[in-house]
């Protein structure tokens, strides 16, 4: 997985200097043993999240611990790929049945503080979801909505806005249909 993941990260055209630095730091983190995804082995670890898109826009949710409007995602379980983790996390947090583009698209990388003093090296994929209202299960944030470009820009955590602008500019090329 490491070589393919390195290639996917290296193929990203960074949206800004923050993402360029995040790519550099994430590639360095991949080289650290034993498992760069293991949240119990190191407070610095890789996570996976997704920009869920449809003709309705993009899904954002109010993160329960951070109090910020961000894309759904979370930790990668042992033995799980980041591609599988983001699909699982989106389902758990939104109730939406989502799928990867073919081939899967690693779209953005960001290094940021996570809960409990951890640092997350977040791999952000693009997933396609049905244009139906999210149905987050009990225990997850009930504040999960589709946003158009202006709504996402106005609501999202400020550091996420450049990636969202790039995403919305790419939607036609990505051929998102319901």
Q: pLDDT tens for residues 60-70? A: 999 988 889 99
Phi, psi of 4 (to 5 degrees): -65, -40
Q: Note the pTM of the prediction, 2 decimals.
A: 0.94
Q: Go through the domains of the chain in sequence order and give each one's CATH number.
A: 2-173 (3.90.79.10)
Q: pLDDT tens for residues 14-33? A: 999 999 999 999 999 998 87
Count of CA atoms in the C-beta half-sphere (13 A) of 155: 20
Structure confidence at residue 1 (pLDDT): 54
Q: Is 174 within 8 Å of 104 (Cβ atoms)?
A: no
Structure confidence at residue 172 (pLDDT): 73
- Look up residue 99 and give its two tokens: 């799928």
Q: Taking all residues of the chain, what is their mean pLDDT, rounded to a whole number?
A: 93
Among 108, 131, 112, 134, smallest CA distance to 121 is for 112
């Amino acid at each position: 997985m490491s070589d393919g993941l390195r290639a996917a990260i290296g193929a990203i055209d960074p949206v800004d200097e923050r993402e360029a630095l995040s790519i550099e730091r994430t590639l360095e983190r991949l080289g650290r043993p034993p498992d760069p995804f293991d949240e119990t082995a190191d407070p610095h670890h890789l996570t996976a999240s997704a920009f869920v898109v449809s003709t309705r826009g993009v899904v954002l949710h109010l993160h329960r611990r951070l109090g910020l409007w961000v894309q759904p995602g979370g930790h990668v379980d042992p033995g799980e790929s980041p591609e599988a983790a983001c699909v699982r996390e989106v389902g758990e947090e939104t109730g939406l049945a989502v799928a990867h583009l073919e081939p899967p698209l690693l779209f953005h990388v960001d290094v940021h503080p996570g809960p409990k003093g951890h640092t997350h090296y977040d791999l952000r994929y693009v997933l396609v979801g049905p244009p139906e209202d999210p149905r987050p299960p009990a225990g997850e944030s009930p504040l999960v909505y589709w946003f158009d470009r202006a709504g996402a820009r106005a609501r999202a955590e400020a550091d996420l806005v450049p990636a969202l602008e790039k995403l919305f500019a790419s939607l036609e090329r990505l051929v998102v249909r319901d």
